[in-house]
Amino acid sequence: MAAIFWVEDQSHWIRKFSPVLENEDFDGKPNSLAIYNFAEAARQKIALTEKDSPPDVALLDARMNGNDQAGFSVSNALRKKWPQLPIIYLSEHSGTEIEREALEQFSATDFIAKHQNNVEQVLCWRIKAVLRQASIDTDLSSTLNIISSGELTIDLNTWNVYWKGQRLMNPSNAKRPLAPTPRKLLRELMESSPRPLTAGQIAERLGMDPEKFSYASYRQHIKTLRRAFDAVEDETASFSELCNQGQGIVTFGDEGAYLWKPPGNNKK
């Protein structure tokens, strides 16, 4: 059974696509279709659903009830609850800034234009494709291609970094990904956890000249990482606040070391 979480505010689109989504053979079993007309209702349902009971795929409208950010707010809630959930946007705003934001900033798996030929068939093809890819990704996650710690994930094939399902970007330019050194540094902290690493140890692990990779450089990369985490949080500087409380990327001892401590992990 393919469990589809669908958020759509216009009834004529619901009438158009519901029979297709209910009757299409995605995995040889009857499908389960949960429809929400408002972003607020969808977010409430997400909050009340157990984390071990995710849908198989989410289908989101982007602009709802005159709000360009409505679909994105649902996407954020879904990603925080289920970071690996495939999210497809089904929208009238293909080719606009809304599509760019969905793909670049909100980690959309796919974006489908409602006004296109054979859109019902296209929708079914894309859902089958993302479900197939999700199955493959599940297998890959148990290998060294993907490493995870709490809600932090690094894809070692692409070197993309995800926090709560959202891709970390350059905090000085949200259109660009994190630079290579901060990403590699974060991986070393993850793999060393719960042991802290000094600037010299990081330089050795990354094959860098210790004379050139000073503590000041190390500290600057840590600041960049913390700001990147902050950028995907709902509240300003909430990740940095966690770091100050001893979780996340934590300052350690008097030797200028840092360690990665997954938020929510209270083990000493």
Instruction: Look at the chain and report how many structural domains it folds into.
Output: 2
* 223 in Cβ contact with 259 (< 8 Å): no
The tens digit of pLDDT for each residue in 90-129 reads 988 787 888 888 887 777 889 999 988 899 999 999 999 8
Return the CATH number at 95. 3.40.50.2300
- Give the pLDDT band (50/70/90) at residue 254: low
The tens digit of pLDDT for each residue in 22-74 reads 999 887 778 899 999 999 999 999 999 998 899 999 999 988 877 878 888 99
Q: Is 145 contained in some domain? A: no
Does one domain contain both 113 and 177?
no
How much of the chain is in helix, strand and coil states, percent to nearest 5? 40, 20, 40
Domain that residue 133 falls in = 3-140
Q: Is 266 contained in some domain? A: no
Helices and strands: H and E segment counts in the chain: 9, 13
Distance CA 257, CA 254 (A): 8
What is the percent of the chain with per-residue pLDDT over 90, rounded to a whole number?
43
Does one domain contain both 183 and 62?
no
Q: Is 164 contained in some domain? A: no
